[in-house]
Structure 1
C-alpha cells in the first residue's frame, strides 16, 4: 500500500476524520488506498492553535504528548488531487481548479497557498492501535 508521512498533529486530525485534505507543494497522480503515517516530529506550536486544540480535545486528546509518532495511524483513499488557484486567507477560503471551495476548520488545518495541491481523502479508517513503521519522504510503500 502507498503511504505518506505526515507531521503531527495533522496525521491524527486525518485519522480522527477532522481533516479531509492533505496539502502538499507537489501533486500526485496516485488514486486509491493510502496509509497515513505519523512522522517522528510534532509541531508543538500548531497543537496550541485554537482550531487544532479544540478538534483534538473533542476526541479526548489534551496534550501533544498523547499523539502517536513513528507509526501508521490510519488508512484512507485518495480520490482527487486539487490545485489551489486562489487563497482568500483573510476569509479562510481556498478555491481549487476543480471548482471546490475549502473553508472552515479544513482551511485552517492545511496550507492553501496558490499553486499548492490539496489531496482529497475519503474512507478514512483509524487503526485501533498505531503500527510502528519508519517513514520516508514522498509516497512510499508500506508493508503491513
Structure 2
C-alpha cells in the first residue's frame, strides 16, 4: 500500500485524538506538541480519530485549560458541547515551530501559552476555523493530504472561531514563513524570566491531572508511543518520557485504518 505521507503537502491534514482535536479547532489549545518539528506552514486540517474519549479525560483537559487561561485573567471559556470522532473538524494556521524550552521562556507571548510548552517541539497555531457540519472520514498517521473532493467540500463549510485569547506569534523575518523555527528565538533560559506555576496549587493540580489523563489515555491504546517532554512545569523528573497535557499521541491511526508500515 502506498503511504499517504509523501511530504508534498497540498491540503495537509493531521489526525488527533479527542478531546485535543476539538480543543485545537476551537482555539482553546494554541500549541500542538510533537516529538518532531512541523514540516509545513499555513493551513492544517484537523481530523478526530475514532477513539471515544473518557469523560474523566475531557474533564481533566478542560480544567487544565481553565487554569492556564486564568493566569492571563480569562475566566470564561466556551468548551465544545461535543467531541465527535472519525470526523474532519476544521483547521488552524501553523505559523511556526519552536522548541519547548524556547516557548517556555518566550516573554513575547502570554504566560498561559508558555505553560503549554510541554513537548520537544511546539507547533504554533493561529486562526482556528471549524466546520459547521464535521465530515465523516478516516484518518492516517502523521501529516497526509486531504482528498480533493473532501477538501473542496470542507473549504466551503468553514466558520471562524472566537478564541478565548487570540495569539499572534511574530515571525523573526516576515518575508520567510519558516523563520519561526527551532533555534530561531535564540533565548537564554538562564537569563529569561521563568514561569512559576508552582505558586498556584490549583494550577499545579490541573497540570498534574491533565498529565495523568493523557498518560491513562495512552495506556488504553492498542499501541503506545512516548516522547521526551519538557516536564519542569509539572515538577516531574525530566529523565522520564511521558504523555503531556498539551500533546496527543505522536503516532495516531484511526482504528478503521490500516497503519502505514
TM bin (shorter chain): 0.7 to 0.9
Q: Deviations over 1:96-121 (max 9, x none)?
A: 6xx766742773xx5614xx111111
Contact persistence 1:95–1:101 (CA under 8 A)? no
* Aligned position for 1:25: 35
Could you say which residue in structure 2 is the equivalent of 1:47?
58
> What's 2:85 paired with?
69
Give the secondary structure class of the aligned counterpart of 1:34. Answer: strand
1:125 to 2:141 alignment: no
**1:134 CA drift (Å):** 0.9
Q: Which residue of 2 aligns with 1:112?
A: 118
User: Which whole-Å deviations, capped at 9, do the CAs of 1:13-39 have from their partners, x for residues lacking one?
Assistant: 112111111111111221111101111
2:29 aligned counterpart, secondary structure: coil
Distance 1:121 1:132 in 2: 24
Q: Which of residues 130, 135, 142 is equivalent to 1:138?
A: 142
Q: How does 1:72-91 map to 2 (within 5 A)?
A: 72-85=88-101
Match of 2:248 in 1: none
Partner in structure 2 of residue 58 of structure 1: 78
Which has the larger Rg? 2
How many residues are matched? 127
Structure 1 residue 81 displacement after superposition: 0.8
Task: Assess if the C-alpha contact under 8 Å between 1:40 and 1:69 holds in 2.
Answer: yes
Q: TM-score, normalized by length of structure 2?
A: 0.43
User: How far apart are 1:60 and its partner, in Å?
Assistant: 5.7
Task: Note if contact 2:101-2:117 (Cα within 8 Å) is conserved in structure 1.
Answer: no
Tell me if 1:6 matches 2:16.
yes
- Return the TM-score normalized by structure 1: 0.73
Alpha carbons 1:32, 1:79 under 8 Å: kept: yes
Q: Please give the secondary structure, in 2, of the residue aligned with 1:14.
A: helix
CA contact (8 A) 1:94 1:102 kept: no
Q: In proportion to residue count, which structure has more helix?
A: 2
Please tell me the root mean square deviation across aligned C-alpha atoms, in Å: 2.8
Q: Name whichever structure is richer in strand by fraction.
A: 1
Gapped regions of structure 1 (runs ≥ 5): 87-92
